[in-house]
Chain A
Amino acid sequence: MMDLITNLIHGFAVAMSPTNLLLCLIGTLVGTLIGVLPGIGPLATIAMLLPITFGLPPVGALIMLAGIYYGAQYGGSTTSILINIPGESSSVVTTLDGHQMAKQGRAGPALAIAAIGSFFAGCVSTVLVAALGAPLTSVALLFGPAEYFSLMVLGLIFAVVLAKGSILKAIAMVLAGLLMSMVGSDIETGQSRMAFDIPELSDGIGFVVVAMGVFGFAEIMRNLEQTATREIVQAKVTGLMPTLPDLKAASGAIGRGTIIGSILGILPGGGAVIAAFAAYTFEKKMAKDPSRFGRGAIEGVAAPESANNAAAQTSFIPLLTLGIPPNAVMALMVGAMTIHGIVPGPQVMTKQPDLFWGMIASMWIGNLMLVVINLPLVGLWVRLLRVPYRMLFPMIIIFCSIGVYSLNNAPFDVVLTGIFGLVGYWLAKHDFEPAPMLLGFVLGPLMEENLRRAMLIARGDPSTFLTRPISAGLLLVALLLLVVAVLPMIRQKREEVFVESDA
């Protein structure tokens, strides 16, 4: 306990340095901005800003990038509430009740409760990250290659189970991602694999290239298909303060949202989007009168907004302690750490205490900044939302293009990103989820390395994964998860087939 406090104090000392404070502020501001603007998410932004962090000290760079992620969860709610379009995919459910509140002239309390909920969730999850860091790290140190491999299998299964839609298709996406990650040089022999003698591919396909193509460019192509008119709540946002009954009604929802969000954030494949959905659904099921939801229930704003913020932060736990990114944004953070020569994993905490504790402390500071700066800036965000998409997307395209190009000064990377944009568009048209693919792509090299090592140590005996207790336990959990998720789906499909053949 004392250790925790001294460590946190050390972290605050790091995070409070003027440079880091400034970078934290920039990160949260940029995050809020892109959170507010629909059609550009934290993933594309972090990818875009990766080259910028070259010149920064590693701690500052990661503080800024983390700020973008949780800042975006914050900003997303503003758009959801004011114009009924989710600014961020994690704020989709906030539109349901948030916009209804705004229509009833209660935009102020809706925004305020979203901010309060986010701040509370941010505080709790900061403490969680700090408290769970040390024990999980010591567990991770017991892990050998077999355990690591099984853990990653579990992580990918989580991602598959939590993805919306068909499980089989999600597994296919994971495998496609794994396969793509094999392009380039073999880790052990250095032999070129599936690179077709293209020199730019000899190092493999860049992570940013895939992420920016599938999430950035493909997203724009899809957005251009929907010419949604934006209906901004014109009335002035007045009376920010929620009333006492509001606070009472929301406090339980904030607490429950925080818990659900924190858990789903830690789980691989989870993250802010699923957390928000789960918290909303839970709140609706809990409610005495579920019909209030969708008509401006304050719990419907408080719960998902607390949950997405909590999840955004706790998803750093597996990354910082085990070195395994639980979702696509965290995978980008791995990229950012690698640029700075930091290998994510249990050794970060001992070898780079500045980074580990500084980042945790900065999360709390960042959340405080968000509350202080965000509410007064609502007017500015509303004005920004009047910028039409036809002006916004060329800006995103050019920033992304320059960003990708500047990573290696390679025009080929830009072309490849364009191709992945088309791939992402195609995936969306066939209802394939790109997130599991990206996770597979990131975990691919790590998985292969550990699989090979484990097999080598066991002298080619694959039963090593089942005879080592921790590894066997992890695989068992993965199997159980899969069975639980697949069973109802098979039953449904079978019924469908039988109904059809009867007809």
Chain B
Amino acid sequence: MGGVEPAAAQRKSAVIRNPQDFYGGLALVGLALFALWASRDLPGMHGFAFGPGTAPRLFAILLGIIGAAVAAIGFFTNGPRLEHYAIRGPLFITASILVFAATIRPLGLVISSFATIVVCAAATSEVRWIETFIWAAVLTLFCSLLFPYGLNLPMQLWPRF
């Protein structure tokens, strides 16, 4: 990992030599700044006792420094170019998780599971719809038996009216 790809040699003229690290480091600096902002109201050191805000600020500042260093090194030394982001997989996986979160309370486990499985199955281009619906039905049945009955978890199966 992190080795210089042959392609990198051709990009000597590129301004940012290792965009993976450069943008990664910048994002961490962003996270650190965000944490500093989020903990701005917390009381800090009180005499020699730590306040609630001391440790978060301490770690945020350290993260900011290291993140900046990662970005700086990424700027000056060669590295792999940015990897291609897939859209389909992350999109449908995230969508299915959101579907589950949105429907589990109002609609119950049966409808929620079925919908979640169908949505996330679309995350791959290999999806076969008829197979998916049958598989979703089987899995839903399995989950509806396993979690509320097999494991005694308090879960509501059907919509509440």
Contact = CB atoms under 8 A, between A and B. Distances in A.
A405 B35 contact: no
Contacts of B48: 455-456, 459-461
Contacts, number: 209
A289 B109 CA distance: 59
Interface string A148-175: 0000000000000000111011011001
B73 interface: yes
Contacts of B139: 394-395, 398
A493 interface: yes
A212 B135 CA distance: 23
Given A397-B120, A500-B12, A414 B126 contact: no
Contacts of B124: 224, 227, 389-390, 393
A431 B110 CA distance: 38
A402 interface: yes
A217 interface: yes
Contacts of A221: 86, 89-90, 93, 123
Interface in B128-142: 128, 131-132, 135-136, 139
Contact of B21 (A51, A390, A399, A430): A430
A489 B153 CA distance: 51
Given A194-B38, A452-B55, A500-B78, 4 more contacts: A176-B28, A402-B155, A415-B98, A431-B1
Contact of B155 (A398, A399, A406, A415): A406
Determine chain B's interface SS by DSSP, over half rule.
helix
Contacts of B121: 390, 394
A179 B63 contact: yes
Contacts of A414: 97, 100-101, 104
Contacts of A398: 100, 113, 116-117, 120, 139, 143
Contact of B100 (A193, A401, A426, A451): A401
Contact of A411 (B80, B90, B102): B102
Interface in A295-342: none
A250 interface: no
Nearest to B37: A194
A208 interface: no
Interface in B20-74: 20-21, 23-25, 27-28, 31-32, 35, 38-39, 42-43, 47-56, 59-60, 62-63, 66-67, 69-70, 73
A179 B59 contact: yes
A52 interface: yes
Contacts of B147: 402, 406
Contacts of B155: 402, 406
Given A397-B93, A452-B50, A456-B49, A164 B77 contact: no
Determine chain A's interface SS by DSSP, over half rule.
helix
A142 interface: no
Nearest to B69: A168
A451 B51 CA distance: 12
Contact of B63 (A175, A388, A405, A406): A175
Contacts of B38: 194, 196
A121 interface: no
Contacts of B7: none
B111 to A, nearest CB: 13
Interface stretch (A76-84, A183-191, A262-270, A467-475): A183-191
B81 to A, nearest CB: 11
A51 B151 contact: yes
A404 B17 CA distance: 40
A51 B105 contact: no
A171 B155 CA distance: 41
Nearest to A410: B101
Contacts of B31: 176, 179
A193 B39 contact: yes
Interface string A368-403: 000000000000000000001111011101110110
Nearest to A220: B93
Interface string A413-455: 0110110011001100111100000000000000010011001
A219 to B, nearest CB: 11
A178 interface: yes
9 A-B pairs closest in CB distance: A460-B48, A430-B24, A418-B97, A186-B52, A224-B89, A414-B101, A175-B63, A411-B101, A194-B38
Interface string A111-147: 0000000000000000000000000000000000000
A207 interface: no
A456 B50 CA distance: 8
Contact of A460 (B47, B53, B93, B128): B47
Given A191-B42, A193-B53, A422-B90, A415 B101 contact: yes
13 contacts: A175-B62, A179-B56, A194-B39, A220-B93, A389-B124, A390-B124, A390-B126, A391-B131, A398-B120, A401-B101, A405-B100, A422-B94, A429-B85
A456 B45 CA distance: 11
